[in-house]
Chains A and B, each alone.
Chain A
Amino acid sequence: MELGPIFRAMMRHRPRFLLIVVEVALTLAIVANSVSLILEARSEMTRPSGFDEENLIYVSSTPFADAFKDPNYRRQSVDSDLRALRSLPGVKAASHTTVVPWSAATMSFGPRVAGTQKESPGSQVFFVDAAILETLGVGVARGRGFTKEEYDANPAEQPLNEYEGPVLITQTLADALFPDGDALGKVLENETGGGHFTIIGIVDRFYKPAGTPEFSQSATLFPIASASERSAGYLVRTETGKADAVAADVEKALLKADDGRNVRVRTIAELRTRFHTEDRLLVAALNGVMVLLVLVTALGIVGLTSFSVAERRRQIGTRRALGATKAAILRHFLIENWLVTTVGIALGLALAYALNYGLIIWIEGTRLDWRVLAVGVAFLWTLGIASALGPALRAARVPPAIATRNV
């Protein structure tokens, strides 16, 4: 190996090689951090809600007719709406509820174990009917869901402070309230006073975004009708792949049942897309930037290596005339490039961590995964060699005769 001469030749052109080192280092730092941000955003975007969300539709009804001021009329209206929804072709289940997957708005309260003074872990509150579990497509890990009788027994819009009856809670909330397990059959109360909530079932999967991951999975479901003078909400579960088709029919069906209101229909897939707008933008933009970055870096290495070759044509010719083979010339430039790329990668590793640290303290984010860096390193090595290959081959083709000219 002719490492010694290669190294000495490089030291004669320090700025140029330093430049490649910096390019490679910055590229590695940015690519690694971009991939890290993309992975983080993607894990957020692909997080399952636990529900059959591809086949869910949310329907909201906002009445303006005076008839809706009467609670009895509202109750009947909810029943007839549910009948209308269930009779639509392609509908599997429908529920009158305040659960809206992938919406940002949320209502919460502080349940605690009845008779204790312990601080509540906090929980989201949802009002549901007996069809909710079937509609969401979730089950109970323990216990059972609500019966129609339990739901019918409660007056609509009953305040939590006055409610005494069964509730369902999620597994996460059960674990927070009862670290020793076995929440089933236990009684909760409202932290601010009142209420007597008997846990009759633990919902196995539940995720409705509400700030932290824990809070997003903590929920208490009450079998209380939520239809008010101002609004009523329904979730509809359709047969697989029929969400869009069913959504198109809902407004007409409900307005046929009662015209004194407006009806708005959205698929949960739509709400989900909307919820992830920022993350989708980040992923798309970073993907674009990374592709351009790799192109530009490759272009830069090609440019500098070509320049390096052009400048040394006479020396190459001389070496060839003195007996160096084409392979030896090719090797010279590839090894030279490999050395520079490697130094760049070493510097890039440090820069990647520095940038990651900066992003974490200034913007928040996660620590760089070493596997992401390993892939980045392998990629840049390949990129370096591939970019240098063209100019190096050109160098190998320099005829020995050039040494005899122009001296």
Chain B
Amino acid sequence: MLTHNLWLAWKSVRRNPILSFLIIAGIALGVAVSTSFVTVWHVLAKDPIPGKSDRLHYVRLDSWDPVQPWDEEDNAPPPLLTYQDMRAAMKSDIPVRKAAMAQTALYVYPGSPDQRPFREAVRLTFSDFFPMFDVPFQYGSGWSPAADAKPEAVTVISSELNERLFGGRDSVGERLRLADREFRIVGVLAPWRPKVLVYDMSQNPYAEPEQIFIPFNLFEPMALSATGNQITWTRVDGNTFMERARNSEMIWIGMWAEFDNAGQRQAYLDFLNAYVNEQKKAGRFQRPLNNRLTAVVDLMEEWEVVPRQAKALAVISLLFLVIAALNLIGLFLGKFLARASVVGVRRALGASRRAIFLQHLVECELIGLIGGACGLLLSLGTLALVNRYYQPAGVEEKFFTLDPGMMLAAIGFALLAGAIAGVYPAWRICSIPPARHLKNQ
């Protein structure tokens, strides 16, 4: 039955090519616009680390000014930790994995003399970082917990940097000079470009990951300075960064913890609360207890990671799809009612209303799908344009792309448009009394 209906629909599409073209073009436009801008929103807003997003929690302690909360509106704790509190939070063994982190910039000295030294952003973190965030390796692996503790001068580099420095060969075990120190490469990442920089959303959440990773504990021996946010509400003195950071209230470190279950999470929160209560006795943490462990998606929501422009565009583009479909109702009506006499004959010969209705609905959905396919192709063009637009903001050519989920959604949009445009005309034509049209032959 369906194949027969499809055959009838195809014949009908070909019978009136201009009208069919207009309808297909209308649906294609609607699907193209909605698919493109819902994709933009989807890429920016989707769960960046599916399967783990409810297990990874961001650690925040309210160490802020007793007189003035960090956030007057929501009473959120500050987004980063002080050095001393990070040390305390890292001591617990309750989380399955845990990693504090900060950013710096170091000069890289390539081995070959014909390459100039260049400065690169560097992530300082702990060994758990790599398994926690599912970081893919091409060669070698992350460093060991022993390297954290010592700390050893070991590094993990990106595939891009490996390409640049070593021509893409397996460079594990090679030496690399960063600032004034020789590092041993223990791992080379596979190409890795998460759309959302899950582990550090406090700055630009859509930035590329750093090219170099080194143990956090090298911060002191190498006398480094952090390049990310450093915020304080008390006086901070000292000549070097570490002197200013070590025992002060300056916040500058992000930290994530991974749990297997809610019990662990609660136990760790209890541990943190106990630590803060202990500190209160020593005169720190004079604000009400407000420590939080926040899951990835909740943190994205709280920090309003998705630009509002992307949300507004997604809403408006979906409304556009609905209007485009509504506007096609008139064209479908004209197309169907031109065949009223044929339908009248079929009805008189015994076709049920249901059969006629289905036949026309199948035609609408067929046209919807043809339009949807054209729309999907158009949306590839639109997304290429959007990618070009976003390039000044540091986004590379293939940032906004269709994923399988969005392709399914596009098919859904096409079927929806076909249904919106087609249900009323199909109902109209099936409810025509057969006698009226037979009379006129």
Taking the closest CB of chain A, its distance from the CB of B104, in whole angstroms, is: 10
Question: Are B309 and A282 in contact, with the CB atoms below 8 A?
Answer: yes
Taking the closest CB of chain B, its distance from the CB of A222, in whole angstroms, is: 17
Using Cβ atoms and an 8 Å threshold, which residues of chain A touch B392? 270, 273-274, 277
Using Cβ atoms and an 8 Å threshold, which residues of chain A touch B331? 299-300, 303
> What's the Cα separation between A62 and B328 when bound, in Å?
60
Given A289-B33, A293-B323, are A307 and B308 neighbors across the interface (CB < 8 Å)? no
Question: Are A278 and B323 in contact, with the CB atoms below 8 A?
Answer: no
Question: Are B328 and A300 in contact, with the CB atoms below 8 A?
Answer: yes
Task: Tell me which of B91-99, B113-121, B131-139, B210-218 binds A.
Answer: B113-121
Partner of B330, one of A62, A282, A284, A307: A307
Task: Tell me which of A33-41, A127-135, A136-144 binds B.
Answer: A33-41
CB of B3 within 8 A of chain A? no
Taking the closest CB of chain A, its distance from the CB of B43, in whole angstroms, is: 13
Partner of B393, one of A274, A301, A304: A274
Taking the closest CB of chain B, its distance from the CB of A138, in whole angstroms, is: 26
CB of A176 within 8 A of chain B? no
Question: Are A299 and B323 in contact, with the CB atoms below 8 A?
Answer: no
Name A352-396 residues within 8 Å CB distance of B.
Answer: 355, 358-359, 362-365
CB of B84 within 8 A of chain A? no
Name A307-321 residues within 8 Å CB distance of B.
Answer: 307, 310-311
Taking the closest CB of chain A, its distance from the CB of B251, in whole angstroms, is: 14
> What's the Cα separation between A91 and B414 when bound, in Å?
57
> What's the Cα separation between A29 and B320 when bound, in Å?
11
State the interface size on chain A (CB cutoff 8 A).
62
> What's the Cα separation between A16 and B337 when bound, in Å?
13
Question: Are A281 and B390 in contact, with the CB atoms below 8 A?
Answer: yes
Question: Are A285 and B313 in contact, with the CB atoms below 8 A?
Answer: yes
> What's the Cα separation between A293 and B29 when bound, in Å?
10
CB of A54 within 8 A of chain B? no
Q: Give the residue name and chain of the A residue nearest to B311 (CB).
A: A363
Taking the closest CB of chain B, its distance from the CB of A190, in whole angstroms, is: 7
Name A210-228 residues within 8 Å CB distance of B.
Answer: none
Give chain B's interface secondary structure class: helix
Question: Are B225 and A285 in contact, with the CB atoms below 8 A?
Answer: no
CB of B247 within 8 A of chain A? no
Question: Are B334 and A306 in contact, with the CB atoms below 8 A?
Answer: yes
Partner of B309, one of A41, A119, A289: A41
Given A262-B119, A280-B389, are A285 and B37 neighbors across the interface (CB < 8 Å)? yes
Question: Are B309 and A299 in contact, with the CB atoms below 8 A?
Answer: no
Question: Are A26 and B225 in contact, with the CB atoms below 8 A?
Answer: no
> What's the Cα separation between A285 and B314 when bound, in Å?
11
Q: Give the residue name and chain of the A residue nearest to B440 (CB).
A: A406
> What's the Cα separation between A296 and B328 when bound, in Å?
8
Given A34-B316, A64-B107, are A26 and B326 neighbors across the interface (CB < 8 Å)? yes
> What's the Cα separation between A303 and B325 when bound, in Å?
13
Interface string of A326-368 (1 = CB under 8 A from B): 0000000000000000000000000000010011001111000
Not counting A293-B320, A362-B311, a sample of 9 additional A-B residue pairs whose C-beta atoms are within 8 angstroms of each other reads A23-B323, A29-B319, A161-B235, A192-B236, A279-B309, A286-B316, A289-B33, A292-B29, A300-B329
Q: List 23 A-B contacts (CB under 8 A).
A: A19-B326, A26-B323, A26-B326, A27-B323, A30-B319, A30-B323, A64-B107, A64-B117, A190-B235, A192-B236, A262-B117, A270-B392, A277-B389, A277-B390, A281-B309, A282-B313, A289-B33, A296-B29, A297-B323, A300-B329, A301-B330, A303-B330, A303-B333
